[in-house]
Each structure stands twice: as C-alpha cells, then as structure tokens.
Structure 1
C-alpha cells in the first residue's frame, strides 16, 4: 500500500482542527444526516463524514460502519484526499497499486469503490472528507460527484458554525460570570462602606447626645478614627484599581533594597494587626537590589501580608522570606487556604474565594488584582499556591536592578531612541 503524502500545510491543518475543537466531538445528528444523504444520492452501502487527525481518523457521521471502528491516520483512502485537495474517485481499489494492500481493501470490509470530496476549512486547509464506498467496482455520475462536493462544503460550514456556537456559549457564560462578579462586588462594597459609615454615625450620635465620661468619649473617637481610616483605605483601593486599569497610575521607579522594603512592610502589617498575636518570621539573607517604585511595591507587599494575617487564625505562623537571586519575596501562611477551583481566578478583578465568602472575611475582591497589576508594572511575576485548610504561599519575583542607572525599560522615553 502506498501511503498518501503528508500535505505541506499539515501543522497548520492540525492547528485549525484543534481550534475548531472538531476531533473530540461526539457523533452529531447533522453530520450523520450528511453521511446518510451521501449514501442515498450515491447509492452506496457506506458513507462517512471523516475528519483526519494527526494519528487517527475521526468519524463524525457514518453509514454502514460499526461504532467501534477506529481507523489509523495512514489507513484507507481519505488521507489521499487530504493530500490531493480534490475529489478522489477509485473505481476498483483492488486493481489500483496504491490501495490494493490497504487493510480495508485486502480484508474486511473488502472495499472496492471509493469516492471522497475534501472538507476544506475556513483557512483553506483540508480537514477531512465526505466519502462514499462500495463492495463492488463502480463509478459515480457527474451529478453525484457534484452532490458529494456540495455535501463536503456543507460539512465544512457546519464545523465552523459549531465552533462559533461553542464560542458564543463561552462568551455568554463569561458574561454571566462577570455579571455575578459585579453583583458580588456591589454587595461587598456596600458592606465595606456602609458598615464603617453606620458605626461612625452611631458613635457621632452618642457623642452629640453628651453625658459621656471623658475616657468613653476618647474611646468613641478612636473607633470613629479607625472606621474613617477603613473607609479611606477602601476608596484609595478602588481609585488605585481604576488608575492601574486605565494605565494612568503614577510610577516612579528607583533603585530599592527589596530586603529593607519588605522589613518595613512587615512592620506596617504587624502594627495594623495588633492584637491578633501572629508569629511573623522574617528571613532575609542579604541585600536584594531591585528597580522599583517603593510606594507601589510596599502597597503590594503590605496587602499580601494583610491577607496572610486575615486568613490565618490568631497565633498562627507566617513565614516571610526574601531572596536576592532572583530578587523575590515569598509569604507563606498557615491559614484556611484556597480551594483548587478558586486558585486560578484569585487575581481576577472582584473575585473572592468561596472560603472568604463563607467565613464572611472582609474585602472587595480587588486586592490581589491590584497586586498582580503592580508586579506586572515592575516587569515581575506573582505566583500563588494554596492547599485548602493548610495555607497559602505567594511568591513575588522582580527583575534585578542593574549596577548603575535604570533598566532599559525604565529609561526616560526621550532617551530611548538615542541622540536627536
């Protein structure tokens, strides 16, 4: 048996099949109708809608072929249609030296006649065939050949339509998810803003009513101050998110020691969490110079540390490690962790894990998205690994600062094109 040559566009052809998600789809009633119509028009006992993959041939519609038949890439006559790109008609395969040793010709089902038209995708690659076969030698009439070609065109159009329908369903699901996230965000932001505002109003009313002892008034004022700070933090967070999304956030990088910056961020986070009694362990090997905006990077680190504290039970251990090569900060907590299905979404805007929702842990769902954008602004990367009920590890890696001057990406724009 002479194997059909591999077409020159084989890689692109397989990519198109993969993009269309055509090979793994089950039998389809519409493709089955195409096969039945081909068998009826051509008056043959066997007809197929056959997509030719890299290793196997995939029957999307079939007549006269058992459901458990698996055909290899080099078996049969369809691969020759893929290579030739034109309708192939073989009157008697047993008399044709190219095909007489083919297992489907020399053995069961002892095929003799074959006619196949190429199914050509939207990018011009032959994806498979609509073909008919018989157990006796014969030829098709011209009208039958024309019908076979038209059915092949119809099969190609259906592949495209199925693909676009699946893409549409994905877009629809994504829009539903976005709507759900928006509603969740509105609920969260309503809680995050209304709760401190309600507290402020209540304590202000008590102060206005008078008759309180001086120590009590001082305590009330401290509560009002804390809630005011909470409100300002939330508003600053939302404004920063908007500016990062619009690429208008101020960014003033300079040579910074990541080790020293991390130490200050740890001190700030510990001060904010006074009373929770966490065991914050900081390990810094040496100075780790990076080219960074210290305020932006400090914000990202403090937020990650706040998260570690917020999701770790009181007296829990939080390990913070700074490395110099490559410059990186790793924050490993022993908190509630994040479910596997949530990990891939945690850096998305407004996303909150179900653990945070179920345990009513405060937040608007934009913190990790802000962290991701800040790290990206620096040309770095952030990775998160988590195991439910065991803890979470977040690693921020940044480009190393050069010995002198800013990195190429952070030179003044007027200097990037050289002398003028």
Structure 2
C-alpha cells in the first residue's frame, strides 16, 4: 500500500482492529439504509457536498454511507484521509488542506478532486477500536466549530449503535 501522507497511518493495534471490523460482516454490503441516512444528514446539517460513513480495512477504505461520491465505493487506504481519522480518538480536522504539509502530495488534495476541507470523527467500538469514520468534505476551505465537532461525534455514535444492531440482526438470522 502506498502511503501518501508522509506519516505512519497503521496503528499498533491494526490487526486486532481489522479483526473487530471483520467481525461485523459489514464490508461490501448494500449501501442503503441507516448508514446512508446518517451520511445524508451530515451533508445536510453541515451543508457540504460530500459526507461519508467509512470503514478502514487493511488495504482500502470502504464507504457504507456515501453522499456526493456516488459510484465510488472505496479508495486506497494510503490515499484516504479517513486513514488519518482512525489514528486518534478526537476529531481530525483540516480547515484548509493546502496548509497541511502531510497532505500536499495526497492526490485527493493536490490532484483534480480538489479536496480543501476535511473533518472526521472515528467510529469507535465500546472497547476502543476505531473502525472507520463519519466524515464531511468540501472543495473549499471552511471553519469547524466545537459545536460542529460535537454534532459529528453524535453522528459517529449513531453509526456505532447502528453497527451493533446490524451485528445483532446477523446473529438472529444465523439462529433461524
């Protein structure tokens, strides 16, 4: 995997984190439903053209909820800023990506896509594993307040609640 950030993007617990993610059996499933609705809500509330519910797998970032990048279901982990968002429990915010040295060679920032604003909160299991993120993206720089961060944090908690319900439904189906 090519890393375009110039900083380490693989957390120490990555093998265990990926196993936790795979235990949910969420990857490569239908992208409609509550995860899509949370992405739609994020795009609407923050008035951004792109909002994603993403899960960071070993080599790729897969989108379970996708507004504004329809037709793209995944990107390489070494390119996606969601790979940075799972590295810490707090929000990852780049109000102007062109002011961030670690992003200047990233093809989403430096290339035709023109990513200029990114904010994400990790989707965190109750035992502390960051499986992915809820992120918002714009092609223009913008500010991101403490209230904005709190709202995005609540959305990430909703995704985690929905993910746990997903896993429960799979378990019940397996019993029947």
TM-score range, shorter chain: over 0.9
- In the TM superposition, residue 120 of structure 1 has moved relative to its aligned partner by 0.3
Pick the aligned partner of 2:90 from 66, 86, 90.
86
1:126: Cα distance to partner? 0.1
Within 2, Cα distance between the matches of 1:4 and 1:40? 33
Structure 1: unaligned runs, 5 residues or longer: 173-420
* Whole-angstrom CA distance in 2 between matches of 1:12 and 1:74: 19
How far, CA to CA, are the matches of 2:65 and 2:75 in structure 1?
A: 14
Greater share of helix: 1
More displaced 10-residue stretch of structure 1: 138-147 or 95-104? 138-147
Q: How many residues align?
A: 172
The answer as to 2:28 corresponding to 1:24 is yes
TM-score scaled by length of structure 1: 0.40
SS in 2 for 1:83: coil
2:38·2:65 contact (CA, 8 Å) conserved in 1? yes
Distance 1:109 1:26, change over 3 A: same
Please, which of 151, 156, 165 is the counterpart of residue 169 of structure 2? 165
Give 1:58's match in structure 2, choosing from 38, 55, 62.
62
How far apart, CA to CA, are the structure 1 residues paired with 2:35 and 2:74?
18
**TM-score for both structures, normalised by structure 2:** 0.92
Structure 2: how far apart are the matches of 1:3 and 1:76? 13
* Pairs within 5 Å for 1:112-131: 112-131=116-135
Q: 1:41 and 2:45 equivalent? A: yes
After superposition, the Cα gap between the structure-2 partners of 1:24 and 1:122, relative to the gap in structure 1 and judged at 3 Å, is: farther
- Contact 2:61–2:80 (CA under 8 A) maintained in structure 1: no
- Rg larger in structure: 1
Structure 2 counterpart of 1:136: 140
2:76 corresponds, among 68, 72, 75, to 72
What SS does structure 2 have at the residue aligned with 1:51? Answer: strand
CA offset digits 1:131-156 (Å, max 9, x no partner): 00111111122222111000001101
- For 1:67 and 1:85, locate their aligned partners in 2 and report how far apart those are by CA, in whole Å: 29
For residue 351 of structure 1, what is the aligned residue in structure 2? Answer: none
SS of match in other structure, 1:41:
helix
Q: How far apart are residue 69 of structure 1 and its match?
A: 5.0
In structure 1, C-alpha distance between the alignment counterparts of 2:126 and 2:168, rounded to whole Å:
12
Q: For the Cα contact (< 8 Å) 1:45–1:64, is it kept in 2?
A: yes
Identify if the C-alpha distance between structure 1 residues 26 and 4 changes in structure 2 by more than 3 Å, giving closer, same or farther.
Answer: farther
CA distance in structure 2 between the aligned counterparts of 1:143 and 1:83, rounded to whole angstroms: 22
Structure 1 residue aligned with 2:158: 154
Cα deviation for residue 23 of structure 1 reads: 1.4
Q: Measure the CA separation in 2 of the matches of 1:170 and 1:92.
A: 47
Deviations 1:75-118 (A, max 9, x none): 12111111122211101112210111111111132000000001
For the structure 1 residues 2 and 146, does the alpha-carbon distance in structure 2 shift closer, same or farther, using more than 3 Å as the test?
same
Q: Distance in 2 between matches of 1:29 and 1:148?
A: 19
Q: Aligned to 2:54, what secondary structure does the other structure show?
A: strand
Is the contact made by 1:122 and 1:160 (CA closer than 8 Å) also made in structure 2? Answer: no
> How many Å separate the matches in 2 of 1:5 and 1:109?
21
Q: Does the residue aligned with 2:159 lie in a helix, a strand or coil?
A: helix
2-side partners of 1:108 and 1:169: how far apart?
44
Any stretches of 5+ residues in structure 2 without a counterpart? none
Answer yes or no: is the 8 Å Cα contact 1:4–1:79 preserved in 2.
Answer: no
Q: Which has the higher contact order (CA 8 A, sep 6+)?
A: 2
Matched, 1:6 2:6: no
